[in-house]
Structure 1
Amino acid sequence: MAWRERELHPERSPRHFYGAEIRRHRKANGDMSLSRLAQILNFSTGHLSRIEGGESRPPAGLSEKLDAAFNTDGSFQRYYPLAAREPFPEKYSAYLKLVDTAVRHESYTLTVPGLLQSEAFANALLSASEPFATPEEREEWLTGRMARQTRLHQEPPPCRYWFVLDESAIRRPVGGPEVMAEQLSLLIAASRQRHITIQVLPLSAGAHSEMGGTSLMLLTLPDRKMVAYEEGSRWGRLFEDAQDVEHRLDLYNLLRGQALSPQDTDALFSSAREGFTNALRGTVRPLAEE
């Protein structure tokens, strides 16, 4: 079966328009292949493919090379400022806009949620989850993730946060014992903030609705409307229909009811941190390995 290029949607966003323009000029230049253009630009073919498809933000310096390759008199340099403002893939954009205005944020995640991740933990997680991304792409995503934490620490708090974490989030040694000890310290500090509640859903709770690998977020907006968002490792979906949202709220309340109390969660964090700290000293194995 012949290989077919993916369909582009330049109307979706400046990032998609930028990518579509790359393809348009490739086609206008003797139907140049993507690999040939990457060779001319001295650029990664895989990275260039993701930029053309609107999946990745163009890095600084690429626009000048494209203008030179296509003789476009600065067109790509003029497109770049708009395309560069979008640090997140399109599938997250609608959800993230709502996150920025929510007055209540409730979530269940299999790992430490992005809003509570240390920079070292986030970097290790991104390196593992996107092993074929370039260092520039991972740095872009890391910067965006860290920037999103600003609202969590505003005074007065603009939002009430309730996080339910799967126990595996603190058992799996992402980045090693030192990174995990730091991450657990951050979780302990966050859990003691007046506008943040954290619970751990223990492995002993057994089967539950989200154990198939889905994260669930519920946002209450200023007009008291609630929306839900589900996310897998390679997809995300926003729910606004009242019946869909109510169903997911019921599921979340079941998860919250199965989770440890905030006090027991705090004790578990401290115990897990001690295990990883001892592992650093070489005294015992980390708790995650017991």
Structure 2
Amino acid sequence: MNGLFFLCGLVAVAFVVFITVYLVISGLPAIREIGLTDFLFGTQWASTAKENPQFGILPFILTSVYGTAGAILIGVPIGFLTAVFLSKLANPKAAAVIRTAVDLLAGIPSVVYGLIGMTVLVPAIRVAFDLASGATLLAAMVVLAVMILPSIISVSATALNAVPKEYEEASLALGATEIETYFRVSAPAASSGIAAAVVLGIGRAIGEAMAIMMVAGNVANMPGLFKSVRFLTTAIASEMSYSSVGSLQRNALFSIALVLFLFIMLINILLNTLLKKNKK
């Protein structure tokens, strides 16, 4: 059994190594041809232009960063407070109903989120802010915030439930209120699990494509809250189907995938480093 478990672990590592090597081999040729500076910091993307095509992905990078940050700012507080309610405050019947709703949110396909956002949220933003189109970065942030809620709620609630009861009893015995105990004792004790929930939320937000393509407008603009934008993921999904094999356009799309992959790895490394420091 030890050998079997070790083999399963090696398979997981092998997949990561294979994906990394494949993206490096496929993504580097376009970066060499375009130039690293022009590729990462160029502000124009016109991959299908017959004369002087442009392959600058800075708008995509900034849009992904802003969109993910906005979704985290909206989703994490709501998800964390919901987890505290489920774990510490809700009666069993209410908790069962809310957990069922959270499980349903986790099971809804991303295209359904995009469809609802396109038919409900986008028109609402257009009317509320008197815009020509409601397909904006704001709509993408809201949709992403809703999509990451199940991960944040489930993992955070599990972490809070794992806090030893003795911690809370000791806090109450020293005169703290229940709310003070939950936020000043239970939450810090479960900080590693809550941080893991945030990591999962970031991974879900930055890797989403279909729903964002439907609500963000899919236009290669520099990011603005009320502008139609394109994310790194949607740039790949929207052009891969008609890019010819071996062309600079397709190679540039693989380069975008490489940048996205490295970006996610960097985020995970930074967050894991912060978690280790907090544990120490």
Q: Does TM, scored on the shorter chain, surpass 0.5? A: no
Normalized per residue, which structure has more strand?
Answer: 1
What's the TM-score once normalised by structure 2's chain length? 0.26
What's the TM-score once normalised by structure 1's chain length? 0.25
